[in-house]
Amino acid sequence: MIRIPCPFCGIRDHSEFTYGGDGSITYPALDAPLQEWHDAVFQRENICGVQTETWHHVNGCRMWILVDRDTMTHEIHAVRPAHPDLAKALESSS
Amino acid sequence: MTRFSAWNVFWNGLTSQKGWSRQWRDPEPKSHYDVVVIGGGLHGLATAHYLAKNHGIRNVAVLEKGWIGGGNAGRNTTIVRSNYAQPGNREFYEDSLKLWENLSFDLNYNVMFSQRSHISLLHSPGAVDAAARNYNTMRRTGAPDAEIWSLEQLKQAVPHLNYGPNARFPIMGAALQKRAGTARHDAVVWGYARSADQMGVDIIQNCEVTSITRDAEKVTALETSRGTITTSKVGLAVAGNTSRLWAMAGLGRLPIESHKLQAFVSEPLKPLLDQVVVFGVGGAHFYISQSDKGGMVFGGDLDWYKSYAQKGNLPIVQDVSEAAMSVLPCLGRVRLLRHWSGVVDMSMDGTHFICKTPVDNLYLNAGWNYGGFKATPASGTYFADLIANDRPHPVIANHDLKRFERGLQIDERGAGPDPKLHG
Ligand SMILES: Cc1cc2nc3c(=O)[nH]c(=O)nc-3n(C[C@H](O)[C@H](O)[C@H](O)COP(=O)(O)OP(=O)(O)OC[C@H]3O[C@@H](n4cnc5c(N)ncnc54)[C@H](O)[C@@H]3O)c2cc1C
Ligand SMILES: [Zn+2]
């Protein structure tokens, strides 16, 4: 079991979460050239090592979070809310 | 090398088995080859075999970082079938199945291909309709062995499935492919290796490619743990490690993610299951067959998160066990012997790539998801053809990296561009 420290709920088993995918992807503007959309939707760096990814705490607080995780060792290096404003709010309250 | 034949088996039985020679050489790498295939799994070895056999290209090396067959080639649940319906896949997997039917003769090696049939259980009227559509497509395109079975037919053939009134997913019928079945994966690895070696191919184990040197157009050299090797052409067949080699060649991103899939084998049992049985409903997925040694060989879904580690996680063990119990409750007291995991190259539409790349003399074979075992003979045939002739055969014309730019996805499942959903 991977243990994920949810910023809202604390340390929980990964079986409480569903895996989203590559969290480094940013989608281009709606009218951006097709090639940019193609790259965002289909192309992946597929890092062997630490990557940023999205997880959904579906059987917990139901928040989407960003996790920096090593894809070889499964070690987790950092966790934060996926929504940038929530991430900021958490930072300022702590 | 001694050929396998009834006479040789008989003669060696009388002469203390002294007449056999080693199955393939253990050569030192040469400094130059006409073609280097990176990856000593099924696809790499099959490619070398067909390069030599079909195209007369024999100055070939297969470089394997560990031992041949140590990757997904030796980790799969060995299911072979051709029940694909999408154009592109349909022809490709039908070709592959035909090659399987003659593989033991072609390789002079018994790969134990057992056409015991493949049964997909159907649990809803919608599933029956969808299967009827796909299996009719198969019948019209070279697979007369595709059938839809009623519940009565299924009960006669496989009496011990869970037909009870309390079954979580009551069974309504089944889709069946008769020529499908299983083969012994190690034998396929060894058979291709032995045959390729016999035709002059160097199979070099413990030889990891650590960097790829190239200029604007071509790969010029490969740095390996056993020295520098130059080559005219390079074929990449490294399954779950494709993105790492792609990065070594400085080529950026790919429509592939590496995930892990687990498989399981039980203690040996007396004959229990004479077919491959597959169960899939909504989020659940389970497939099972019985090996010649009697072990129940089975598996389910991916571990759901991206991974390069060849080790599985426990939630899937629970998922798969639950599926096993709901399909074949008689397995409840059976003990698990081993379970393991492999790193699979999941693609954005669930279909593979056999294609040219932005580098002139680099060719790609990847994106096999967890269905690349059955593809082995066709994959090797068409990849060798691509490398030899520097153009794709019409059958693999759409199996290129550019298909998404053309708006084409070959998506059997209709799951969309999320690699973990294709299985
Ligand atoms: C658990 C499991 C169950 C499966 N079940 C089925 C099934 O029932 N039916 C089916 O059709 N398919 C199945 N598959 C899929 C099938 O096994 C794979 O698609 C197929 O084996 C991949 O091709 P390969 O054999 O060439 O890969 P591999 O055997 O993984 O070969 C790639 C090789 O490349 C080597 N390599 C990597 N990096 C380097 C480097 N830098 N230098 C040199 N060598 C390198 C690796 O060591 C490895 O040996 C399953 C897979 C898994 C993991
Ligand atoms: Zn939470």
Tell me if B171 sits within 8 A of B163, measured CB to CB.
yes
B377 backbone dihedrals φ, ψ, rounded to 5°: -65, -40
A90 band by pLDDT with thresholds 50, 70 and 90: confident
Residues facing B181 on adjacent strands: B80
Q: Which amino acid is located at B17 in the chain?
A: Q
Length of chain B in residues, anyone?
423
Tens of pLDDT, residues A42-62: 999 999 999 999 999 999 999
Query: In the 8-state DSSP scheme, what is residue B390?
Result: S
Q: What is the mean pLDDT of chain A?
A: 95
B307 contacts: CB under 8 Å, gap ≥ 6: A71, A72, A74, B258, B259, B260, B343
Contacts of A51 (CB under 8 A, 6+ apart): A22, A23, A24, A45, A68, A69, A71, B306
Angle between helices B376-389 and B89-101 (to 10 degrees): 110
Give the per-residue pLDDT at A87.
Answer: 83
- Ligand 1 neighbours, Cβ below 6 Å, are B 38-44, 63-66, 70-73, 75-79, 208-209, 237-239, 241, 245, 261-263, 299, 342, 344, 368, 370-374
Mean pLDDT per 10-residue run, chain B (423 residues)?
A: 90 94 96 98 98 98 98 98 96 98 98 98 96 97 97 97 90 97 98 98 98 96 98 98 98 98 98 97 91 97 96 95 94 96 98 98 98 98 98 98 97 95 89
CA atoms within 13 A on the CB side of B423: 21
In chain A, which residues have their Cβ closer than 8 Å to the Cβ of B350? none
C-alpha–C-alpha distance, residues A24 and A26, integer Å: 6
Secondary structure (3-state) at A59:
coil
Q: Is the pLDDT of residue A88 over 90?
A: no
Q: Does domain A19-93 have CATH number 3.40.80.10?
A: no
CB of B309 within 8 Å of a chain A CB? The answer is yes
ipTM above 0.90, yes or no: yes
Helices B376-389 and B42-55: crossing angle in degrees, nearest 10, is: 50
Nearest atom (ligand 1) to Cα of B63: 43
User: Ligand 1, from B203, B231, B238, B317: best to mutate by most atoms within 8 Å of Cβ?
Assistant: B238
Q: For residue A94, what pLDDT band results from cuts at 50, 70 and 90?
A: low
From the list B203, B219, B201, the residue with the least C-alpha distance to B211 is B219
- Could you tell me which residues come within 8 angstroms of residue B91 by beta carbon, excluding any fewer than 6 positions away? B141, B395
- The answer to whether B409 and B403 have CB atoms below 8 angstroms apart is yes
Q: What are the tens digits of pLDDT across the range B318-332?
A: 999 999 999 999 999
Residue B193: closest CA among B97, B107, B113 = B107
Rounded to whole angstroms, how far apart are CA atoms B257 and A43? Answer: 9
Task: Give B113's DSSP letter.
Answer: -
**Token pair 């030599």: residue:** B52
3-state secondary structure of B386: helix
Nearest CB among B254, B309, B418 relative to A21 is that of: B418
Q: Are B169 and B326 in contact (CB under 8 A)?
A: yes
Residue with tokens 């040197």: B213
**pTM of the full predicted structure?**
0.97
CB contact under 8 A, B243 and A71: no
In this structure, the residue with its CA closest to atom 6 of ligand 1 is B76
CB B279 within 8 A of CB B286: yes
Closest residue to atom 31 of ligand 1, CA basis: B41
- Phi and psi (nearest 5°) for B327? -95, -45
Q: How far is residue B23's CA from residue B239's CA, in Å, rounded to a whole number?
A: 25
Q: Per the CB < 8 Å rule, is A44 touching B304? A: no
Phi, psi at residue B332, to the nearest 5°?
Answer: -50, -35
